[in-house]
Amino acid sequence: MSRMPYVIGALVMATGLSWTIHLMVAPEPWAVDSAFTIAIGTLVFSIVAMSGLLLGRGRWTRYFATGLVAVQLLIVLVADFEPWLLIALACSVLSLVGLAGPWLQGWLRERPATGSPGAVPLVLAIGSFALVPLVGIAAPSGLEYAHGLVGAAGILASWGYLKGHSWALWLLRLGIPVLALAAAIASPPGGAIIMVIAGSTLTGLAWREEARLAVDPLPTNLPTPRRRR
């Protein structure tokens, strides 16, 4: 069996780790707390991407990892030059080459796995946690209490939804839009747009039928089959 999928997964993780260290060493143009939230999101999503490539092996993992690396590369547009920036750039380029190449063919499944939750629940689980780095991007000069609340709610909603709790779905439906609006008011104009788009997108997806079915418990007592006469 080829070892290239493991190499690619390690490169994706190394990319996220190097960008995380860069944000900690040279957070400009973000404030320290804003850069910290972006770094947390970068690190966690890199772990998700690597785990998906090596364990889940779903087709979506290639797209997710590629998009994650591409978004991380945007940091170079505003970053200060320092050694970790060069390391992060090199890892990003190698990761994109590996993800775009033929080495994952036969490794990733071409069809969704049986019993997979579907695209909407997956986007909700990942997107709700994405509120953590988004508040850092939306508030480059520093976080307010409203940003901390919506970030914490995003973590709680992501964890609860992955566990199948119905309260997490209602948090996404009713709580997240209110908290995102409060964070938008506390943000500069560009950050306000980011918060409004993120909150409205998650809320809209949470009202979809697929989102409800993902946390709808199965009946414990099934009716007994009827006997044919």
DSSP states along the chain = --SHHHHHHHHHHHHHHHHHHHHHH--TTS-HHHHHHHHHHHHHHHHHHHHIIIII--HHHHHHHHHHHHHHHGGGGTPPP-HHHHHHHHHHHHHHHHHHSGGGTTTS-SSPPTT---HHHHHHHHHHHTHHHHHHHH-TT---HHHHHHHHHHHHHHHHHHTT-HHHHHIIIIIHHHHHHHHHHTS-HHHHHHHHHHHHHHHHHHTSHHHHHHHPPPPSSPPPPPPP-
Q: How far is C-alpha 206 from the geometric centre of its chain's CA atoms?
A: 16
Lowest mean pLDDT among 41-45, 74-78, 136-140, 183-187: 74-78
Q: What is the mean pLDDT of the chain?
A: 89
| Residue 229 binned pLDDT confidence (cut-offs 50, 70, 90) | low
Average pLDDT rounded to a whole number, residues 209-215: 89
**pTM above threshold 0.75:** yes
**What's the pLDDT score for residue 78?**
86
* 49: number of Cβ within 10 Å: 26
Average pLDDT rounded to a whole number, residues 59-78: 91
| Residue 222 binned pLDDT confidence (cut-offs 50, 70, 90) | very low
**What's the pLDDT score for residue 116?**
62
Could you report the per-residue pLDDT of 108-138, keeping only the tens digit for each? 887 666 556 678 999 999 999 999 999 999 9
87: left (phi over 0), alpha (psi -120 to 50) or beta: alpha
> Does residue 223 surpass a pLDDT of 70?
no
> Does residue 220 surpass a pLDDT of 70?
no
Average pLDDT rounded to a whole number, residues 130-155: 94
> Does residue 1 surpass a pLDDT of 70?
no
